[in-house]
Structure 1
Amino acid sequence: MTLPAQPPEVDVNADLGEGVGDDAAMVALVSSANVACGFHAGTPIELRRTCELAVASDVRIGAQVSYPDWDGFGRRFMEIDSDQLIADVLFQIGALTAIARSVGGTVDYVKPHGALYNAIVGHRQQALAVVTAVAEAGLPLMSLPGSVALELAREAGLPVFTEAFADRAYTPEGTLVPRTEPGAVLTDTAAVAARVVDLAATGRITAIDGTAIDVHADSICLHGDTPGAVAHARAARAALADAGVLVRAR
């Protein structure tokens, strides 16, 4: 007997708990919430409320760890020694774990934010520090395909999730175009929704120069602070449904 083919599925995540955007609307449209941990954004009460929303919507919670860069929203690279970075990441995971637990949730993975996320794509010292902290916390790591961090995490035996971005421009090398450059953030709702479907169905994305690149992501990110974020997320969910793609945390 031939079994029916299983419909394709993808995880859709958003950065939440940052005190910007509409978290209540976004959490209803995603399957994973990357919740800020207070180092780049998010007050304790904002983090607790975001975790409550995630638990109520049966959305997976991830710790969105960052450099200690409140003034720069975590988007400025920092030189930081390994012991300090390990401690900072563990501190953030621990704080969010306690907050999530207080509302009946759990922290199920770690996703670095902003400049730290970009740094550990190629910065081996910082990548190793982040992986060490995540391993000590006993959690999976979410990062960009091909990053040094994912390479080190796999070597350490950690579960990993690869990620792609629906609302950010890519270089031909598969990295994110810096936010300081024109066209780095996609704001057209139809284009964002089409990109989500392409990623889920083909694992490919068009770079800023028109090059087609392979991404093959386990999760697709829609930033909660991108202009029109809720409209993007609604359109993406509708487009995925029309394409027969299930949205589910993996």
Structure 2
Amino acid sequence: MSEMKCNIICMTGSQERVLKENISEQEVCKIKGAIKTIFEFMNEVDNYTMLQGNSNDFLQYTENKNIDIEKMEEFTNLNRMFMNWLNTFYVWIEYHERYHKTVFGKLKGIFYDKYPEYRITYYLRRYTTHQSCCISKTSFALTTGKISYLIPVKKILEEGDMNKQTKSDLRKIESTSSNIDSRELVQDTMKIVKEFQMSLWKEEWGAVVDALKELESYIAMDDVSSTYIVFNDEKIRPICISNPIGYLIQKMSLYSELRDLIR
């Protein structure tokens, strides 16, 4: 059985240039690990962007003054968008639990213990999955013309099986207003998520920098060439090791907080 051999090449147009011959299996593993780190970070940016998008969809819909609250389908749409937001909130948490468990775990306790909105949102996702839709009431302020879309707390307390901390949070709301304003909950939770996400990115950035340095040590840094690992076995697809850097730069441009990390 012939030994697997790998080269690093760069392509400028149709021209191929060998940058490094006979790289070791260990080097290939290190390069793959660096690419994996970068893609995990980019996936994290995508999850945050989707969470932001679903929160914006819901908030914009609730601002629509043409909503006919007498129609049942309007409540269905409100709950659909609210559930989309809750589900992406859960996805955001689960992704970090899987791929950034150490960093996320260190910060999660701080944010979970500090903010009742975080705890309530986390629970409502489970409630909507196993019990019922959340938003079932409205209120209209004559002075401002504002319509609020409400989540009755009593019903959740009666039907739910939340932990003691979340139950205490909900009882406090029940004793003062009886309802959760869905719009305010989304706005408040997203402020918390943003603070949490910025802290996570700062913690994770060191590993991303190390991954970038690993890739940059192998590629042609001329902003023109694409760099690949190619194998002597044609059945194995070449691995592009330059594109992930370009993709990451595009992702970093989405948020000022990410751009600040580069400087």
Decide which structure has the larger Cα Rg and report it.
2
TM-score normalised per structure 2: 0.23
TM-score normalised per structure 1: 0.24
Which protein has the bigger helix share? 2
